[in-house]
Amino acid sequence: MKRFERISKFIPTIYALSTPAGRAALSVVRISGPSASTVLQKLTGKIPKPRLASLQSIKHPTRSQIVDKALILYFQQPASFTGEDIVEFHLHGGKAIVKEALDAIEQTNIPNLRYALPGEFSERAFYNGKTDLTQLEGLADAIDAETSEQLYSVSQQAHGDLYRLCFGWKNKLVECRALLEATIDFSEEHDLDQKEFEPIFQEILDLTDEMERHLSKARPTEILREGIRVAVVGPPNAGKSSLVNYLAKRKVSIVNEQPGTTRDAIETLLDIHGFPVFLTDTAGFRKGSDVQEIESIGIEIAKEKAEKAHVVLLILPSEIWTGKSLALENQIFELVKNYKAKNQQVHVLLNKTDLVQGASGAATMVRKYLHQALDIPISHVHEVSIKNEIGLEQALAALASSFRIISHVQTENNDDGGYGWNRRQREALKECIKHLKMSLNYASDVVITAEELKLATDEVGRITGAVNVESLFDIIFSRFCVGK
Ligand SMILES: Nc1nc2c(ncn2[C@@H]2O[C@H](COP(=O)(O)OP(=O)(O)OP(=O)(O)O)[C@@H](O)[C@H]2O)c(=O)[nH]1
């Protein structure tokens, strides 16, 4: 139905509550479409100057009573979010006020006026060329973001930086193709040699290099969107559940001096230094005759969780890291070796420092040992007392540095990680580069070069939504709420 509406001359005017429903200081109702100003005229008796806020009474058309005195904004097409005429009512945020304001709009009985579908304002903005696919995806991610790093990872997309980059590339590609085709035409009449094409090939080569640079620095946005997985592992009684409860600021797991208390993997979503983190408390690794069946299942689950984690947080209680029973923990060290081999980040908390005399000296020895035996960076081993909340802030700051690298907010060399790209956008860029390389491989047959350039241009168009991505629209627009 929506596609029919788009191509028909009778584009409906849509309206919706754009702020959350319920009691609030303010609620904004938005109207977009050819009859937006007619609705405004009918409800307030006048149309204010575009883009200038004015305070006006909204009168219900059938009850002839004032619904609310609201701040009104009118945006004349095309200078609006959707590219159509838009009216915004900034109402007082009462349930009855909003209900009556929506009813008043409906009761104007203007033809072709209806309540908006989810994401329909954004959809119109897209079709009217006010925004591109990268900005829409960035905006949807920004609205969904729950932590600061999630938000900033997509802000370049939301603010159009990625669009401008791709738009520049598209223009250069179109220019190369035009030049190439003009040169082909000219050569048919004037018998040109291959050298005439060299400046064009050089331009394609430069563009390929530039795209490859961007791809190598691209920050995949999905890790931050989906959350960083951290598995808290260690022997029983190490303080794993105590740490999870401390970070969650509530009782997520049972803390008890009885070894083997935690038997299942308990997952909590936390905001650590702006990063969305799925923290999993696991059953303590141990072997022995007093390990019951349920606990041993829990230990297997713990190992699985740790294997899938981006970061393994190993907690060792003082009786282990002070050396008295280090041999007992060989199985844990074997597991850590495994994680390191798979490039997982490992951090170690040397817990219960409150029980250790001269904790720093002992910790320095363990640090050296872990570094030499397991290649764990010195900066990843932290002395803490979870019970007394000592050393935890420093440990969290070090964890956050690992999160920055995992989520590509920052690279290992500390330089700028480039733009945030989602999987779809990276795949299209890879395809584009592939076609550009093909175009250079076939430099001796300029007709193929021209065809490959066209395919490369289409891929850049796919990133911004200019080419053949309609199948994605329903997915993207349905992520927005009604009124967006
Ligand atoms: N003295 C001291 N005790 C601690 C510290 N951290 C945790 N504990 C205690 O150690 C005991 C075990 O803590 P938990 O958090 O249940 O340990 P766990 O690693 O989850 O244990 P399991 O569920 O058996 O795997 C509890 O009695 C805690 O109060 C610490 O920093 N110092």
Mean per-residue pLDDT pooled into runs of 10, the chain (484 residues): 49 93 92 96 95 96 93 96 96 94 95 92 90 86 84 81 91 88 70 73 94 89 88 88 87 63 71 91 63 58 79 89 61 75 87 88 86 89 95 95 82 63 92 94 81 92 75 62 68
Identify the CA nearest to 107 among candidates 64, 77, 136.
64
pLDDT (0 to 100) of residue 3: 42
Helical packing angle, 470-478 and 133-144, nearest 10°: 20
**For the chain, which domains are there?**
2-129 (3.30.1360.120), 139-218+420-465 (1.20.120.430), 223-406 (3.40.50.300)
DSSP letters for 355-373: G-TTHHHHHHHHHHHHHHH
**Rounded to the nearest 10 degrees, how much is the dihedral formed by the CA atoms of 276, 282, 285, 288?**
180
> How far, in Å, is the centroid of ligand 1 from the Cα of 381?
18
pLDDT (0 to 100) of residue 7: 45
* Ligand 1 pocket residues where CB is under 6 Å: 234, 236-242, 255-257, 259-262, 283-284, 351-352, 354-355, 385-387
The closest residue, in CA terms, to atom 14 on ligand 1 is 239
Asked whether the beta carbons of 68 and 92 are under 8 A apart, the reply is yes
> How far, in Å, is the centroid of ligand 1 from the Cα of 315?
10
Q: What's the pTM value of the predicted model, to 2 decimals?
A: 0.71
Probe residue for ligand 1, chosen from 237, 322, 351 as the CB with the greatest number of ligand atoms within 8 Å: 237
Beta bridge partners of 75: 86
Task: Determine whether 198 is exposed, middle or buried from the number of CB atoms within 10 Å of its CB (0-12, 13-18, 19+).
Answer: exposed
> How far, in Å, is the centroid of ligand 1 from the Cα of 228?
25
- Is the bond preceding residue 78 a cis peptide, omega within 30 degrees? yes
Distance CA 120, CA 118 (A): 6
Give Dmax over CA atoms of the chain in angstroms. Answer: 91
pLDDT (0 to 100) of residue 336: 79
Atom of ligand 1 nearest to the CA of 351: 31
pLDDT (0 to 100) of residue 267: 78
Rg (CA), the chain: 30
C-alpha separations of 208 from 32, 103, 363 in Å: 42, 56, 50
Distance CA 484, CA 477 (A): 9
Atom of ligand 1 nearest to the CA of 315: 19
Identify the CA nearest to 425 among candidates 456, 452, 464, 399.
464
Distance CA 53, CA 44 (A): 14
Distance CA 220, CA 409 (A): 9
Q: How far is CA 300 from the centre of its chain?
A: 32
CB atoms within 10 A of CB 347: 22
* Position 98, amino acid: V
Distance CA 393, CA 24 (A): 37
> How far, in Å, is the centroid of ligand 1 from the Cα of 370?
22
The closest residue, in CA terms, to atom 11 on ligand 1 is 257
Asked whether the beta carbons of 350 and 326 are under 8 A apart, the reply is no
Instruction: Write out the two tokens for 152.
Output: 């900033």
- Give residues with Cβ within 8 angstroms of 243, minimum separation 6: 232, 313, 315, 349, 351, 386, 392
Strand pairing report for 420-421 and 219-220? parallel
| Count of CA atoms in the C-beta half-sphere (13 A) of 259 | 16
Identify the CA nearest to 176 among candidates 142, 157, 201.
201
Asked whether the beta carbons of 463 and 134 are under 8 A apart, the reply is yes
Q: Is 381 helix (H, G, I), strand (E, B) or coil?
A: strand
**Rounded to the nearest 10 degrees, how much is the dihedral formed by the CA atoms of 139, 145, 147, 151?**
-10
